[in-house]
Amino acid sequence: QVQLVESGGGSVQAGGSLRLSCAVSGYTVKSYCMGWFRQAPGKPREGVANINSDGITTYADPVKGRFTISKDIDKNSLYLQMDSLKPEATAVYYCAADRVPRCGILTAGYEFNYWGTGTQVTVSS
């Protein structure tokens, strides 16, 4: 059974940083595409970043240069380092896992097979 458990969310002031973690079981992070997604109140889910099995990454334009997605093969975990946070980053953040090694275009992630339950990120101005 595949399980994804996010942690690391919280409240931070604009300009601050947070590091989200996604602990994975029943699935090997090094073999497949994984991603981070977010959903703000009243808005549709959107892709934040994804990472291929070979480590190639893709970022949404609003987070380029400020967010970094990575994975730790030994810990079988996925991470999202978020720096220079802005109030518009406030959302529930989800990690997700696919069953293909290469990620497609970064979208809302409906093609992903497995999802965590999310972690809240709140950025105040």
What are 62-111's pLDDT values in tens digits?
A: 999 999 999 999 999 999 999 999 999 999 999 999 999 999 889 999 89
| Alpha-carbon span 56 to 89, nearest angstrom | 23
**What pLDDT, on the 0 to 100 scale, is given for residue 98?**
95
Q: What would the pLDDT profile of 107-123 be if each residue is shown by its tens digit? A: 999 899 999 999 999 99
- Do 111 and 34 meet the contact criterion of CB atoms below 8 Å apart? no
Angle at 124 between CA 118 and CA 125, to 5 degrees: 150
**What pLDDT, on the 0 to 100 scale, is given for residue 7?**
98
| Alpha-carbon span 29 to 85, nearest angstrom | 26
**What pLDDT, on the 0 to 100 scale, is given for residue 24?**
97
18-25 and 57-59 beta bridge pairing: unpaired
Q: What would the pLDDT profile of 30-68 be if each residue is shown by its tens digit? A: 999 999 999 999 999 999 999 999 999 999 999 999 999
**What pLDDT, on the 0 to 100 scale, is given for residue 43?**
96
**What pLDDT, on the 0 to 100 scale, is given for residue 104?**
87
| Alpha-carbon span 54 to 56, nearest angstrom | 6
| Alpha-carbon span 70 to 84, nearest angstrom | 18
| Alpha-carbon span 80 to 116, nearest angstrom | 14
Nearest to 18 by CA among 117, 89, 100, 118: 89
- Do 56 and 15 meet the contact criterion of CB atoms below 8 Å apart? no
Mean local confidence (pLDDT), 5-22: 98
Looking up tokens 């720096």 gives: 83
